[in-house]
Amino acid sequence: MIYVYRNAASEGARELALALGGRKLRHTPNRGFYFKRADGSRIPVRFTNQDVVVAWGEAFTPTGGCRVLNGSAIRNKYTDATTLLQVGVPTIEVSRTQPRTTPTPPPLDPALAVFTATREFLDDFPTALQRGRVINDGINQLVRQLATLQAALATPAPTAQPTRADGEWLPRANNHVGGNDLMTRPTRPDFFVKKLDLVEEFRVHSFQGRSIRAGVKRVRDGFTNPHPWIRSYDGGWSIAYDGVTSRQEHRDLAHRACEALGLDFGAVDIGRTRQGSLIVLEVNRAPGLEGGTISRYAGAIRRWVDGTEE
Whether residues 197 and 87 share a domain: the answer is yes
Note the pLDDT of residue 128. 57
With respect to residue 307, please indicate whether it lies within any of the assigned structural domains: no
Note the pLDDT of residue 132. 55
Q: Which tens digit of pLDDT belongs to each residue from 78-136?
A: 999 999 999 999 999 999 998 876 555 666 667 777 777 776 776 666 665 555 555 66
Note the pLDDT of residue 163. 47
Confidence check: pLDDT of 190 > 50 = yes
Q: Which tens digit of pLDDT belongs to each residue from 206-259?
A: 999 999 999 999 999 989 899 999 999 889 999 999 888 889 999 999 999 999
Counts of helices then strands in the chain (DSSP H, E) = 7, 14
CATH of the domain at 246: 3.30.470.20
With respect to residue 84, please indicate whether it lies within any of the assigned structural domains: yes
CA-to-CA distance for 42 and 132, rounded, in angstroms?
A: 106
Whether residues 10 and 96 share a domain: the answer is no
With respect to residue 293, please indicate whether it lies within any of the assigned structural domains: no
Pairing verdict, β 42-44 and 32-36: antiparallel
With respect to residue 272, please indicate whether it lies within any of the assigned structural domains: yes
With respect to residue 310, please indicate whether it lies within any of the assigned structural domains: no
CB atoms within 10 A of CB 227: 16
Note the pLDDT of residue 6. 94
> Torsions phi, psi of 204, nearest 5?
-120, 125
What is the extent of the structural domain holding 197?
Answer: 77-101+165-284
Whether residues 53 and 148 share a domain: the answer is no
Of residues 257 and 143, more confidently modeled: 257
Q: Which of 49, 69, 89 is the last residue of a domain?
A: 69
Q: Which tens digit of pLDDT belongs to each residue from 32-68?
A: 999 998 888 999 999 999 999 999 999 999 988 999 9
